[in-house]
Amino acid sequence: MYNRNMIILMGLAGSGKSTQGQMLAEETGRVWLSAGQVLRDTPDEAVHELQRQGELVPDTITIPLMGQAMAEVFASGKDAVVDGYPRTTDQAEWIAENVADKIEAVIRIIVPKDELIHRMMLRGRADDQSLEAITERFRIVEQNIYSVCQILQAKGVKIKDIDGLGTIEEVKMRINQAITEAKNE
Protein backbone atom coordinates (compact mmCIF):
# COMPACT_ATOMS: atom_id res chain seq x y z
CA MET A 1 0.00 0.00 0.00
CA TYR A 2 2.79 2.45 0.91
CA ASN A 3 6.39 2.62 -0.21
CA ARG A 4 7.90 4.54 2.71
CA ASN A 5 9.44 3.48 6.02
CA MET A 6 8.47 4.07 9.62
CA ILE A 7 9.58 3.57 13.16
CA ILE A 8 6.90 2.96 15.79
CA LEU A 9 7.30 4.09 19.40
CA MET A 10 5.18 2.30 22.00
CA GLY A 11 4.80 2.75 25.72
CA LEU A 12 2.32 3.65 28.37
CA ALA A 13 1.10 7.24 28.59
CA GLY A 14 3.85 9.41 30.06
CA SER A 15 6.68 7.16 28.87
CA GLY A 16 8.16 9.89 26.68
CA LYS A 17 6.93 8.58 23.31
CA SER A 18 5.92 12.01 22.07
CA THR A 19 9.04 13.82 23.24
CA GLN A 20 11.30 11.14 21.78
CA GLY A 21 9.19 10.79 18.64
CA GLN A 22 9.33 14.49 17.89
CA MET A 23 13.10 14.59 18.44
CA LEU A 24 13.67 11.50 16.29
CA ALA A 25 11.48 12.90 13.52
CA GLU A 26 13.31 16.21 13.55
CA GLU A 27 16.76 14.59 13.52
CA THR A 28 15.93 12.16 10.69
CA GLY A 29 13.66 14.34 8.54
CA ARG A 30 10.67 12.13 9.24
CA VAL A 31 7.16 13.24 10.08
CA TRP A 32 6.02 12.73 13.68
CA LEU A 33 2.64 11.03 13.59
CA SER A 34 1.02 10.74 17.01
CA ALA A 35 -2.21 8.76 17.34
CA GLY A 36 -3.12 10.79 20.42
CA GLN A 37 -2.55 14.07 18.59
CA VAL A 38 -4.49 12.92 15.53
CA LEU A 39 -7.42 12.09 17.83
CA ARG A 40 -7.08 15.35 19.81
CA ASP A 41 -7.11 17.27 16.52
CA THR A 42 -10.35 15.70 15.30
CA PRO A 43 -13.37 17.99 15.67
CA ASP A 44 -15.47 15.14 17.12
CA GLU A 45 -16.33 16.08 20.72
CA ALA A 46 -17.34 12.48 21.51
CA VAL A 47 -13.74 11.43 20.78
CA HIS A 48 -12.45 14.10 23.17
CA GLU A 49 -14.82 12.95 25.92
CA LEU A 50 -13.61 9.34 25.57
CA GLN A 51 -10.02 10.55 25.87
CA ARG A 52 -10.81 12.59 29.00
CA GLN A 53 -12.32 9.47 30.58
CA GLY A 54 -9.22 7.40 29.76
CA GLU A 55 -11.15 5.25 27.30
CA LEU A 56 -9.70 4.09 24.01
CA VAL A 57 -11.38 5.66 21.01
CA PRO A 58 -13.10 2.87 19.02
CA ASP A 59 -11.05 1.28 16.25
CA THR A 60 -13.81 2.18 13.78
CA ILE A 61 -12.71 5.80 14.28
CA THR A 62 -9.00 5.41 15.05
CA ILE A 63 -8.00 3.07 12.21
CA PRO A 64 -9.40 5.24 9.38
CA LEU A 65 -7.99 8.43 10.93
CA MET A 66 -4.51 6.93 11.32
CA GLY A 67 -4.68 5.27 7.90
CA GLN A 68 -5.50 8.62 6.34
CA ALA A 69 -2.76 10.39 8.31
CA MET A 70 -0.18 7.78 7.23
CA ALA A 71 -1.31 8.00 3.61
CA GLU A 72 -0.87 11.79 3.69
CA VAL A 73 2.63 11.50 5.17
CA PHE A 74 3.76 8.89 2.67
CA ALA A 75 2.12 10.73 -0.27
CA SER A 76 4.27 13.71 0.67
CA GLY A 77 7.37 11.55 0.10
CA LYS A 78 8.34 11.40 3.77
CA ASP A 79 9.01 8.61 6.26
CA ALA A 80 7.28 8.56 9.66
CA VAL A 81 7.83 8.16 13.35
CA VAL A 82 4.54 6.74 14.61
CA ASP A 83 3.74 7.39 18.26
CA GLY A 84 1.16 5.37 20.21
CA TYR A 85 -0.24 3.23 17.40
CA PRO A 86 -1.18 0.39 17.20
CA ARG A 87 -2.74 -0.13 20.63
CA THR A 88 -5.34 -2.82 19.92
CA THR A 89 -5.30 -6.11 18.06
CA ASP A 90 -7.54 -4.69 15.31
CA GLN A 91 -5.12 -1.79 14.84
CA ALA A 92 -2.17 -4.20 14.81
CA GLU A 93 -3.92 -6.40 12.24
CA TRP A 94 -4.50 -3.34 10.04
CA ILE A 95 -0.80 -2.44 10.33
CA ALA A 96 0.20 -6.07 9.66
CA GLU A 97 -1.97 -6.23 6.53
CA ASN A 98 -1.07 -2.82 5.15
CA VAL A 99 2.37 -1.59 6.22
CA ALA A 100 4.24 -4.21 8.28
CA ASP A 101 6.92 -4.59 5.62
CA LYS A 102 7.67 -0.87 5.89
CA ILE A 103 8.31 -0.87 9.66
CA GLU A 104 11.99 -0.57 10.48
CA ALA A 105 11.43 -1.26 14.17
CA VAL A 106 9.01 -0.98 17.05
CA ILE A 107 10.63 0.57 20.11
CA ARG A 108 8.84 0.00 23.43
CA ILE A 109 9.77 2.54 26.07
CA ILE A 110 9.52 0.92 29.51
CA VAL A 111 8.98 3.14 32.59
CA PRO A 112 7.67 2.16 36.07
CA LYS A 113 4.03 3.16 36.64
CA ASP A 114 4.69 5.38 39.67
CA GLU A 115 7.08 7.47 37.55
CA LEU A 116 4.55 7.59 34.70
CA ILE A 117 1.80 8.90 36.99
CA HIS A 118 4.16 11.56 38.34
CA ARG A 119 5.10 12.66 34.81
CA MET A 120 1.49 12.77 33.65
CA MET A 121 0.29 14.86 36.55
CA LEU A 122 3.12 17.33 35.88
CA ARG A 123 2.45 17.79 32.18
CA GLY A 124 -1.01 19.19 32.85
CA ARG A 125 -3.01 17.90 29.90
CA ALA A 126 -6.76 17.75 30.52
CA ASP A 127 -6.85 13.97 29.97
CA ASP A 128 -4.06 13.46 32.56
CA GLN A 129 -5.68 15.02 35.63
CA SER A 130 -7.71 12.05 36.86
CA LEU A 131 -5.84 9.19 38.51
CA GLU A 132 -8.77 6.92 37.64
CA ALA A 133 -8.53 7.87 33.94
CA ILE A 134 -4.76 7.36 33.94
CA THR A 135 -5.10 3.95 35.60
CA GLU A 136 -7.75 2.92 33.08
CA ARG A 137 -5.52 3.94 30.16
CA PHE A 138 -2.67 1.86 31.59
CA ARG A 139 -4.96 -1.15 32.05
CA ILE A 140 -6.28 -1.01 28.50
CA VAL A 141 -2.87 -0.65 26.87
CA GLU A 142 -1.24 -3.34 29.01
CA GLN A 143 -4.12 -5.72 28.28
CA ASN A 144 -3.48 -5.37 24.53
CA ILE A 145 0.27 -4.82 24.17
CA TYR A 146 1.30 -8.51 24.21
CA SER A 147 -1.17 -9.43 21.46
CA VAL A 148 -0.26 -6.36 19.41
CA CYS A 149 3.43 -7.26 19.53
CA GLN A 150 2.72 -10.91 18.67
CA ILE A 151 0.80 -9.86 15.56
CA LEU A 152 3.61 -7.57 14.42
CA GLN A 153 6.37 -10.09 15.22
CA ALA A 154 4.53 -12.71 13.15
CA LYS A 155 5.00 -10.34 10.19
CA GLY A 156 8.73 -10.10 10.87
CA VAL A 157 8.67 -6.72 12.62
CA LYS A 158 11.60 -6.17 15.00
CA ILE A 159 10.52 -5.14 18.51
CA LYS A 160 13.04 -3.66 20.92
CA ASP A 161 12.48 -2.73 24.58
CA ILE A 162 14.42 0.16 26.06
CA ASP A 163 14.65 1.65 29.55
CA GLY A 164 12.75 4.93 29.58
CA LEU A 165 14.27 6.23 32.83
CA GLY A 166 17.02 8.82 32.81
CA THR A 167 17.53 12.07 30.98
CA ILE A 168 15.90 12.77 27.63
CA GLU A 169 19.34 12.44 26.04
CA GLU A 170 20.01 9.04 27.68
CA VAL A 171 16.67 7.68 26.46
CA LYS A 172 17.30 9.12 22.99
CA MET A 173 20.67 7.32 22.85
CA ARG A 174 18.98 4.03 23.84
CA ILE A 175 16.35 4.47 21.11
CA ASN A 176 18.99 5.20 18.47
CA GLN A 177 20.95 2.12 19.58
CA ALA A 178 17.82 -0.06 19.40
CA ILE A 179 17.05 1.21 15.89
CA THR A 180 20.61 0.45 14.78
CA GLU A 181 20.41 -3.04 16.29
CA ALA A 182 17.10 -3.73 14.54
CA LYS A 183 18.53 -2.63 11.17
CA ASN A 184 21.56 -4.90 11.65
CA GLU A 185 19.62 -8.04 12.56
pLDDT of residue 122: 82
pLDDT of residue 1: 45
pLDDT of residue 4: 63
Distance in Å from the first CA to the final CA of the chain: 25
In degrees and rounded to multiples of 5, residue 6 shows phi and psi of -145, 155
- 4 CB neighbour count, 10 Å cutoff: 17
Pseudo-torsion of CA 30, 35, 39, 42, nearest 10°? 30
Is omega for the bond preceding 86 within 30 degrees of 0, making it cis?
yes
The pTM of the full predicted model, rounded to 2 decimals, is 0.88
Gap between the Cα atoms of 123 and 134, Å rounded: 13
pLDDT of residue 132: 82
Ordered DSSP codes for 159-181: EEEEE--S-HHHHHHHHHHHHHH
pLDDT of residue 135: 84
Each residue's pLDDT, cut to its tens digit, for the chain (185 residues) gives 445 689 999 998 889 999 999 999 999 999 999 998 899 899 989 888 888 776 778 999 999 999 999 999 989 999 999 998 998 999 999 999 999 988 999 999 999 999 998 888 888 776 666 788 788 778 878 888 889 999 999 999 999 999 999 999 999 999 999 999 998 88
Gap between the Cα atoms of 32 and 56, Å rounded: 21
